[in-house]
Amino acid sequence: MSSRSSAGESRAGGHGRPPAGAVPGGRLAVLDGVRVLAALGVLFYHYFALESAWGKAPAAIFPNASRLAVYGWLGVEIFFLVSGFVICMSAWGRSVGDFAVSRASRLFPAYWAAVAFTSLVLFSWPEVRQVKALSHVLVNLSMLQSGIGVPNIDDAYWTLFVELKFYILFAIVVMRGVTYRNCVLFCAAWTLAGVVAPTADNGVLSFFAVSTSSPYFIAGIAFYLMRRFRPNAVLWAVVGVQFLLAQHHVHARMISSLGRAATDRTPAWPAHLVIALGFALMAAIALGALDGVRWRWLPHAGALTYPLYLIHMMAGLTFIHHFRRDVAPVPLVVGVTAAMLLLAWLIHRLVERPLGRRLRDRLRSGLQDIRSATPRGPSIDRLPAQPSAPDAERVPAGR
């Protein structure tokens, strides 16, 4: 593979040296930079645009910052773009069991810590949000609360359930073999489901189609295929369709994030522009244009984005609400943000990394036990890895 092939290629069955944009460990540094921008955008939105923390309209406190902060929710869309890229990359060459283990060990340790921390804050200071029952906390630990009608302990957790739907659907690709052809077929099928679902009277279809979010995951997959192989008309068409669908859903996403009244007085064009910039940034990554971004601090900062996202919202809003009369607004926001970053670092170092390793080892051991207990013969995890693509598809990344 050329030096521009994807990070993680050697782990996924490719050959050659790590790509130019990767840091040691096969990680694309620039993707961590995108994660940092997305996480800070979401935090900016919650702290500067939501009234619940301040007891009055944030525009009266931060007249300039609040006008920008109302678009910070778009960080979630950027996270979904990155997720499509990264999941396709990390699933290449893996069995469905290995894919499930990697996702569970990656998501749950920091999430469990975040649920415990946020619940403790809300039980101690039920000012912005109350936890109505301990059973809600326990159900939240499963990450399945949105599917059974239990309230999220933290409103930011809604995105995790969307991610779980994506993982379940992409696991079908993993079972069949993650190849260029199968990924493109998956993109086409999920696009069709997303287009049909809003007018179809089918609960299962609507549940998995996630029409307002799927364009970002699908575009991320297409961008990774561009990077692993090379850009072509099919992949650009996939990206183009997702871009148009994403722009179509902007109004609905503004209503869900800001409310209808606020949406009516908030210009939509900045949201359209941010989405366009997000797609352009991912296209630059896919084409290798940002491979020179290799700052060694980026992976460390990127590692904090997941725990920061999990803990910053309801706990942070509670702290702001609790101390809003004692501390000036700007120092208060700076202090709460610094505290959230410190706690995110502690969760990453003391919980996410060690518990993630132990959970991964235990799950792999359990998976191995299942495999050894399975009667000899073909099974999902015993099937040989499929070739990555026909001859026409095994083209090194290039221009």
Least confident range of 34-38, 171-175, 383-387:
383-387
Average pLDDT, the chain: 88
Look at residue 372 in the predicted model and tell me its pLDDT.
83
Look at residue 334 in the predicted model and tell me its pLDDT.
97
Mean pLDDT calculated for residue range 221-236: 97
Mean pLDDT calculated for residue range 365-387: 63
SS3 percent helix, strand, coil of the chain, rounded to 5, is 70, 0, 30
Residues 256-264: contacts with CB within 8 Å, 24+ apart?
A: 256/212, 257/45, 257/73, 258/49, 258/70, 258/73, 262/70
Residue type at 308?
L
Mean pLDDT calculated for residue range 235-252: 97
Look at residue 27 in the predicted model and tell me its pLDDT.
67
Q: In the structure, what pLDDT confidence band is assigned to residue 262 with cuts at 50, 70 and 90?
A: confident
Residue 367 has pLDDT above 90, yes or no: no
Look at residue 375 in the predicted model and tell me its pLDDT.
66
Least confident range of 159-163, 184-188, 317-321, 372-376:
372-376
- Could you tell me the two tokens for 399? 């221009």
Q: In the structure, what pLDDT confidence band is assigned to residue 110 with cuts at 50, 70 and 90?
A: very high
Q: In the structure, what pLDDT confidence band is assigned to residue 201 with cuts at 50, 70 and 90?
A: confident
By the 10 Å C-beta count (0-12 exposed, 13-18 middle, 19+ buried), 291 is classed as buried
Look at residue 13 in the predicted model and tell me its pLDDT.
36
Residue 55 has pLDDT above 50, yes or no: yes
Q: Of 81, 79, 285, 90, which is closest to residue 173 (Cα–Cα)?
A: 90
By residue count, the chain amounts to 399
Residue 6 has pLDDT above 60, yes or no: no
Q: Say which residue the tokens 């495999």 belong to.
A: 371
Least confident range of 44-48, 250-254, 271-275, 389-393:
389-393
Q: In the structure, what pLDDT confidence band is assigned to residue 398 with cuts at 50, 70 and 90?
A: very low
Residue 322 has pLDDT above 80, yes or no: yes
Look at residue 390 in the predicted model and tell me its pLDDT.
41
**SS3 call for 194:** helix
Q: Of 172, 187, 247, 189, which is closest to residue 217 (Cα–Cα)?
A: 187
Asked if 314 and 50 count as a contact pair (C-beta separation under 8 A), the reply is no
Mean pLDDT calculated for residue range 225-245: 97
Residue 24 has pLDDT above 50, yes or no: no
Q: Please tell me the distance from the alpha carbon of residue 67 to that of residue 49, in angstroms, as a whole number.
A: 8
Residue 203 has pLDDT above 90, yes or no: no
**SS3 call for 27:** strand
Q: In the structure, what pLDDT confidence band is assigned to residue 21 with cuts at 50, 70 and 90?
A: very low
Neighbours of 205 (CB within 10 A): 14
Look at residue 149 in the predicted model and tell me its pLDDT.
94
Per-residue burial over 97-120, b if 16 or more Cβ lie within 10 Å, else e, is: bbbbbbbbbbbbbbbbbbbebbbe
Residue 7 has pLDDT above 50, yes or no: no
Share of the chain above pLDDT 70, in %: 87
- Could you tell me the two tokens for 269? 């064009």
Q: Please tell me the distance from the alpha carbon of residue 10 to that of residue 35, in angstroms, as a whole number.
A: 23
Q: 111-165 pLDDT, tens per residue?
A: 999 999 999 999 999 999 999 899 999 999 999 999 999 999 999 999 999 999 9
Residue 386 has pLDDT above 90, yes or no: no
Look at residue 377 in the predicted model and tell me its pLDDT.
52
Q: Please tell me the distance from the alpha carbon of residue 378 to that of residue 16, in angstroms, as a whole number.
A: 31
Asked if 154 and 310 count as a contact pair (C-beta separation under 8 A), the reply is yes
Look at residue 220 in the predicted model and tell me its pLDDT.
98
Per-domain boundaries in the chain? 22-373
**SS3 call for 395:** coil
Residue 251 has pLDDT above 50, yes or no: yes
Mean pLDDT calculated for residue range 196-211: 91
